[in-house]
Amino acid sequence: MTQPLLDLSGVTKAYPGVVANDDVSLRIAPGEVHALLGENGAGKSTLVKMIYGLVKPDAGQMQMRGEAFAPANPHAARQAGVGMVFQHFSLFDALSVAENIALGMENPPKMRALSQQIRDVSDTYGLPLSPDRTVGDLSAGERQRVEIIRCLLQEPKLLIMDEPTSVLTPQEVEILFKTLRKLSAEGTAILYISHKLEEIRSLCDSATILRLGKVVGHCTPRETSARDMAEMMVGSALKTPTRDSKEPGKVVLTLNNLSARSAHAFGMPLREISVEVRRGEVLGIGGVAGNGQDELLNALSGETLVSPGMLTFDGRDISLLGPTARRELGVLAAPEERLGHAAVPDMSLTENAMLTGAAREGLERSGMLDWAKARDFAEKIIKAFDVRTPGPGNAARSLSGGNLQKFVIGREVLQRPELLVVNQPTWGVDASAAAAIRQALLDLASNGTAVIVISQDLDELMEISDNFAALNEGRLSPTRPAQGLTVNEIGLMMGGAHGMEVAHV
Amino acid sequence: MDLSAINPLLFVAGFLVAATPLIFAAIGELVVEKSGVLNLGVEGMMITGAICGFATAVETGSPLLGFAAAAVGGAVLSLLFAFLTQVALANQVASGLSLTLFGLGLSALIGQSYVGIKPPRLGDIDFGLLADIPVIGPIFFTHDIILYLGIALVAGVWAVLKFTRAGLILRAVGESHDAAHALGYKVKHIRTTAILFGGACAGLGGAYISLIRVPQWTEGMTAGIGWIALALVVFASWKPWRALLGAYLFGGITQLQLNLQGAGVAIPVEYLAMSPYIITIIVLVVLSADKSAAPASLGRTFHASN
Amino acid sequence: MIRLEKRPQPSRALSLSTPIMAVLATFFFGGLLFVVLGKDPVEALQTIFWQPIFGEYAFYYRPQLLIKGAPLVLIAIGLSLGFKAGIWNIGAEGQYIMGAIFGAAVGLAFYPAEGWYIFPLMVIAGALGGWAWAMIPAFLKVRFGTNEILVSLMLVYVAEQFLASMSLGLLKNPEGFGFPGSRNLQHYAPAHNAELLAGSGMHWGVIAALIAVIFAYVLLAKHRLGFAIRVTGEAPRAARFSGVNPARLVLFCLGTSGLLAGLAGMFEVSGPSGQITIDFNVGYGFTAIIVAFLGRLHPIGILLAGGLMALTYIGGDIAQSNLGLPAAAIQVFQGMLLFFLLALDVFTHYRLRFGAAEAA
């Protein structure tokens, strides 16, 4: 075997209460596309942060081309030839593409020369991008291109990609894969982090599977079935949600040319959305992040009020009702961001139960709050949804992502909604919690509640939706029955490949 | 009332002087806010600078040494703020207020024995013939070096923010500290440096009041100029040249109301004296509609979690 | 290498003990300050903190504690509601002045009439004056998104000028031989906020402060509005999601704090101070900010912190006359206290870890 490019052996990193990486070993050859596979919380992010110099291992060795490799910070890692494309948090909205790229380079050339280089690289790798645009105005796919080009300009030996396809349409994924294959053919190794098995099977040469911080297996994805990889990743056979087939009920919610401005400077306004939702129906709304998902949830929950006539619930115009009044009618919601939006991080679960439960659960009488009752309600949620926590007195922040999400969804489900709107119900949640949440949503629908699931996880939407529509640039595509939709059709509903002409192929 | 008592040349030259403390304080705070930190302690740092500069100038007889000491004094006080917000992760609003309260007390304490003293005078730069040009000469070429330094500072800050990598990094940190951290920039170091710069600038501005504009020491003599400087940064949409413009505008208003007081206008003195504050409020209202220019991380605490 | 690590949840024990630790740290560094000033630190601290309560002349100083503490507590309670919600009224000093002017003006307007209704009307006018002054930043924030910190502060300077104008003009005592300042309300019984028990220091302002403490306690612990305040401060988006109307909250918090500050000013001008003068205000509005934080924005804590701050005022006066300790030293001392409190507060939410350095 040739000398590996990167060789990790026995790498261990512990945080208080949790061992994020336990004796992890990993080898990547030049030009190899290596998958790092694992559930949320398996330790993938910690591992790549160590390679990129953001975190230091407690024990173990890292070698780069046979030499000891211990980057003190990302600058050192970049100098050693490591580039990283982040899932979140590494672009500056108010700065231009060229400025963003300059910030990620060790010795950037003058702005004019840099702009030219950006154009060159984007031509070579089929990633069109204008250097002068403000990043905040770009689509998620275009933002990712900024990050990729930023890495490519450094001519990395190893490119780390953290869940790169979660923000892309299927068409954009194809383009990305072409770029990655080209890079690999040129000798750049790629460490590809994902939990999407089909992608890994089509792209990667080899895979390392992590579970609870430990390496549980290596495999060659092309020769391993997705099911086998999934079981290695999760550690047990997965339960798929079950549902009863039923006739759809009468229309409860009508959106009539709903338009709304975004509260955020770089947000997406909603544009003339019209759709109907029936009792017992699960409407799945797909789309790439940043195409109006947050804004749609806010408009439905009552955080953003819309013009009269745009929202009708059960024959009543609710456009101008605030969140509390809508809850009283049975319109409930669970936003995407758990900490800070759906729940208050530093407050106890009891207080967080009060947050949305006050009106429907009778936790409040003429302004005075009944904390004993709120505590009972919180305990009920914890019990019904198997939320792992010492008790309702614990702060929301102390729960793991999956447990807090179960609490947040459970809080709304137990209030017997007439209509429930959820955004990214299983984002960042481990597989068993995700399955439980999906099952709860399906059970709710079979009892006659109308459910709107906004999600960027297409597999999830296909699994639980009756009907499907996609958000793109703040507009909603026409609704189609979920059954029988092809990936290509879904991709086109999501807007094809943003900013590229190939969408019309 | 006798408006003819107002000499237009002296008036313009006077408002350049009145604007200078504001220029220093505002440009310093602008840099701090560009890095994503809101330091409400400007008033406290200014008054500390005012007394440090005054005391040093009196003791050494050198006004320039006084200004140097003022910059150091302001920076040292701002270090407390940097410690509170960057190390102890305290709320920036509360920390800024504590800095102002502390600075006001500290300056009063140091300044007890300097009340009623005249400081050594800083001479005007000799521009030779330039000063003899009618109108332009008396307005623009009869000032001390610090006044010109203030204008140069605005130009320098503008150039650094716009053209240099250091400026780009500073703006990036203010825009998103998480992203900057992920790229390996030392958010806390960069912010602490910006805070120190802001402190030094505020100190210089304070000393300009006690050494040149007034010139003497009285307790609480900054009288809200530090707060007006904070408002100016908003007014300027975080753009250096607009901060300069704003400072001249307020300097003009201050000078005008003083001149009107002197001219014995029929408006009671108290109402003239409150006018700069009221105008600040009005300007804030008019400009607060557009917040898009504000650094996105302004006022948020950064803690690197892994 | 030492680093900070976020606790899974805030520590209750530390939340209660940091104010005490801050007081101790302030004693220590304040003592050092007194040494630098050439005073015996033990004697100075003893003079400031012991003598007013237990010293030879304590019978005289103890009532002062109530007189100085009441406005501080009254104002700080109001401020704490806003601070908890992230709404920063730092112009309480101005609202205090306006409350005093409005209250005194109503009282003086009736002079020399007699009537039980005069004092209640003054109370209402004082509350209204402070409330109205605070509604300016509140309204501007709600309507135009203007920063309430700067506006409320600018209005302090405006109020000070207005105070000067009133004591030299409209409210000037016509029998005052041309000296600035209004008639002394202490000599006009229907408008006098007299001691309820002679020599106790107990006046209506003290009662109002105690009521405010209880009111705030119930509000924060049991009422929807108090919960809305706490949620808004912790997570504004979650507050909006739960149904809080941010604009109404701004109006309520600023309005209430203005009202209480106005009341404090009114009780002061009609009682301990007696008249409107140019230097009527002595910074209670700013010191109350320290009181609010030192009391951890909790009503009971504020009550205790108000007492402590009142003590520094009284003890400071004694130290000034007995030891020649400058008044400004007390101001520094108070500032230090807030500084240490903020610095130590980090341990409520974070703990120290000793170990390998992370790349920062």
Whether A367 and C234 lie within 8 Å, measured CB to CB? no
Average pLDDT over residues C200-224: 92
- A187 vs chain B: nearest CA distance in angstroms? 24
The Cα A495–Cα A478 span in angstroms is 12
- B190 vs chain C: nearest CA distance in angstroms? 12
A174 has pLDDT over 90: no
Q: What is the pLDDT of residue B305?
A: 59
Q: Which of B80-94, B135-149, C284-298 has the lowest mean pLDDT?
A: B135-149
Whether A90 and B179 lie within 8 Å, measured CB to CB? yes
The Cα A27–Cα A8 span in angstroms is 6
Q: What is the pLDDT of residue C115?
A: 85
Minimal CA–CA distance to C287: which of C272, C305, C269?
C305
A272 and A318 co-located in one domain: yes
For residue A283, how many other CB atoms are within 10 A of its CB?
Answer: 24
User: Which residues in chain A touch residue B175, judged by CB atoms under 8 angstroms apart?
Assistant: 92-95
In a domain, A182, yes or no: yes
Bridge partners of A208, per DSSP, are A36, A218
A505 has pLDDT over 70: no
A173 and A41 co-located in one domain: yes
A310 and A264 co-located in one domain: yes
Predicted confidence band at B284 (pLDDT cuts at 50, 70, 90)? confident
C178 has pLDDT over 80: no
A149 and A228 co-located in one domain: yes
* Nearest-CB residue to C162 (from B103, B270, B306): B270
The 10s digit of each residue's pLDDT in A40-70 is: 778 888 898 899 988 889 999 999 888 889 9
Average pLDDT over residues A123-141: 85
The Cα C8–Cα A399 span in angstroms is 8
The 10s digit of each residue's pLDDT in C19-77 is: 889 999 999 999 998 898 888 889 888 888 888 888 888 888 888 899 999 999 999 99
Cβ atoms of C145 and C246 closer than 8 Å: no
* Nearest-CB residue to C238 (from A333, A344, A359): A344
Interface of B with A in 44-103 (CB under 8 A): none
Predicted confidence band at A243 (pLDDT cuts at 50, 70, 90)? low
Q: What is the pLDDT of residue B306?
A: 42
What is the chain B residue with the closest CA to C233? B91
Whether C154 and B280 lie within 8 Å, measured CB to CB? yes
Bridge partners of A448, per DSSP, are none
* pTM, 2 dp: 0.88
In a domain, A501, yes or no: no
Whether B277 and C157 lie within 8 Å, measured CB to CB? yes
Strand bridging mode A158-162 / A189-194: parallel
A501 has pLDDT over 60: no
Whether C238 and A351 lie within 8 Å, measured CB to CB? no
* Nearest-CB residue to C359 (from A53, A323, A347): A53
A263 has pLDDT over 50: yes
User: Which residues in chain B touch residue A99, judged by CB atoms under 8 angstroms apart?
Assistant: 168, 172
What is the chain C residue with the closest CA to A58? C356
Cβ atoms of C135 and C255 closer than 8 Å: yes
Q: What is the pLDDT of residue C356?
A: 47
User: Which residues in chain A touch residue B178, judged by CB atoms under 8 angstroms apart?
Assistant: 89-90
Q: Which of B153-157, B179-183, C207-211 has the lowest mean pLDDT?
A: B179-183
Contact partners of C by the rule of 3+ C-beta pairs under 8 A?
A, B
**A418 touching B (Cβ < 8 Å):** no
Cβ within 8 Å of residue B102, ≥6 positions away: B44, B77, B80, C332, C335, C336, C338, C339
User: Which residues in chain C touch residue B277, judged by CB atoms under 8 angstroms apart?
Assistant: 154-155, 157-158
Cβ atoms of A250 and A434 closer than 8 Å: no
Name the average pLDDT for chain A.
Answer: 87
Is domain C66-310 given the CATH code 1.10.540 in the classification?
A: no
Place of tokens 């953290």: A162
Whether B296 and A94 lie within 8 Å, measured CB to CB? yes
The Cα B48–Cα B54 span in angstroms is 10
- C328 vs chain B: nearest CA distance in angstroms? 5
Cβ atoms of B195 and B81 closer than 8 Å: yes
Cβ atoms of A131 and A96 closer than 8 Å: yes
Residue B230 has φ and ψ, to the nearest 5°, of: -60, -45
- A346 vs chain B: nearest CA distance in angstroms? 16
Cβ atoms of B265 and B1 closer than 8 Å: yes
The CATH number linked to A176 is 3.40.50.300
* Nearest-CB residue to A340 (from C227, C238, C242): C238
Minimal CA–CA distance to B253: which of B24, B62, B27, B14?
B14
**A303 touching C (Cβ < 8 Å):** yes
A192 and A100 co-located in one domain: yes
The 10s digit of each residue's pLDDT in A280-293 is: 999 999 988 888 99
- A46 vs chain B: nearest CA distance in angstroms? 8
Q: What is the pLDDT of residue A17?
A: 67
More confident residue, A238 or B159: B159
Whether C339 and B274 lie within 8 Å, measured CB to CB? no
The half-sphere exposure of A299 on its side-chain side, counting CA atoms within 13 A, is: 31
A207 and A289 co-located in one domain: no
Whether C235 and A340 lie within 8 Å, measured CB to CB? yes
- Structure tokens given for A209: 């599977």
Minimal CA–CA distance to B273: which of A496, C146, C244, C162?
C162
A328 and A436 co-located in one domain: yes
Average pLDDT over residues C289-295: 91
Predicted confidence band at A244 (pLDDT cuts at 50, 70, 90)? low
Chain A interface mutation, best of B35, B183, B300, B306, highest count of A Cβ atoms under 10 Å? B183
Whether C223 and A355 lie within 8 Å, measured CB to CB? no
User: Which residues in chain B touch residue C37, judged by CB atoms under 8 angstroms apart?
Assistant: 109
C10 has pLDDT over 80: no
The Cα B156–Cα B159 span in angstroms is 5
- % of chain A at pLDDT higher than 70: 94
Whether B224 and C144 lie within 8 Å, measured CB to CB? no
Contact partners of B by the rule of 3+ C-beta pairs under 8 A?
A, C
Q: CA-based diameter of chain B, in Å?
A: 69
Q: Answer whether the bond into residue C190 is a cis peptide, omega within 30°.
A: no
What is the chain B residue with the closest CA to C83? B94
User: Which residues in chain C touch residue A335, judged by CB atoms under 8 angstroms apart?
Assistant: 237, 241
**Domain carrying residue A445:** 251-337+400-496
Going by the DSSP 8-state scheme, the letter that residue A348 receives in this structure is B
- % of chain A at pLDDT higher than 90: 44
Q: Could you name the CATH architecture of B3-287?
A: Orthogonal Bundle (1.10)
A191 and A264 co-located in one domain: no
**A367: region left, alpha or beta (phi > 0 left; psi from -120 to 50 alpha):** left
B103 has pLDDT over 70: yes
Whether C154 and B186 lie within 8 Å, measured CB to CB? no
Domain boundaries, chain B: 3-287
Domain boundaries, chain C: 66-310
The Cα C83–Cα C70 span in angstroms is 20
The Cα A376–Cα A73 span in angstroms is 48
Cβ within 8 Å of residue C193, ≥6 positions away: C119, C185, C203, C204, C205, C267, C270, C271
The 10s digit of each residue's pLDDT in B208-249 is: 999 988 888 988 888 889 999 998 998 888 999 999 999 998
In a domain, A373, yes or no: no
Encoded amino acid at C119, one letter: F
* Nearest-CB residue to B109 (from C161, C162, C328): C328
User: Which residues in chain B touch residue C335, judged by CB atoms under 8 angstroms apart?
Assistant: 98, 101-106
**A54 touching C (Cβ < 8 Å):** yes
* Nearest-CB residue to A58 (from C5, C237, C356): C356
Q: What is the pLDDT of residue C360?
A: 35
The Cα A353–Cα A409 span in angstroms is 11
For residue A17, how many other CB atoms are within 10 A of its CB?
Answer: 6
* Nearest-CB residue to C222 (from A74, A302, A368): A368
- % of chain B at pLDDT higher than 90: 49
Contact partners of A by the rule of 3+ C-beta pairs under 8 A?
B, C
A142 has pLDDT over 90: no
Average pLDDT over residues B77-89: 93
Q: Which of B267-271, C237-241, C356-360 has the lowest mean pLDDT?
A: C356-360
Q: What is the pLDDT of residue B205?
A: 95
Predicted confidence band at B126 (pLDDT cuts at 50, 70, 90)? confident
**B289 touching A (Cβ < 8 Å):** no
Q: What is the pLDDT of residue B14?
A: 81
Average pLDDT over residues A100-108: 86
**C238 touching A (Cβ < 8 Å):** yes
Predicted confidence band at A407 (pLDDT cuts at 50, 70, 90)? very high
More confident residue, A267 or C97: C97
A285 and A412 co-located in one domain: yes
Chain B interface mutation, best of C83, C279, C287, C332, highest count of B Cβ atoms under 10 Å? C332
For residue A308, how many other CB atoms are within 10 A of its CB?
Answer: 10
**B168 touching A (Cβ < 8 Å):** yes
Whether B182 and A265 lie within 8 Å, measured CB to CB? no
Interface of B with A in 233-262 (CB under 8 A): none
**B178 touching A (Cβ < 8 Å):** yes
User: Which residues in chain A touch residue C237, judged by CB atoms under 8 angstroms apart?
Assistant: 335, 337, 340-341
Name the average pLDDT for chain B.
Answer: 88
Average pLDDT over residues A213-223: 88
Whether B179 and A92 lie within 8 Å, measured CB to CB? yes
C341 has pLDDT over 60: yes
Number of domains in chain A: 2
Whether C146 and B224 lie within 8 Å, measured CB to CB? no
Any long-range contacts for C52-55 (C-beta under 8 Å, 24+ apart)?
A: C52/C311, C52/C314, C52/C315, C52/C318, C53/C311
**A30 touching C (Cβ < 8 Å):** no
- C69 vs chain A: nearest CA distance in angstroms? 30
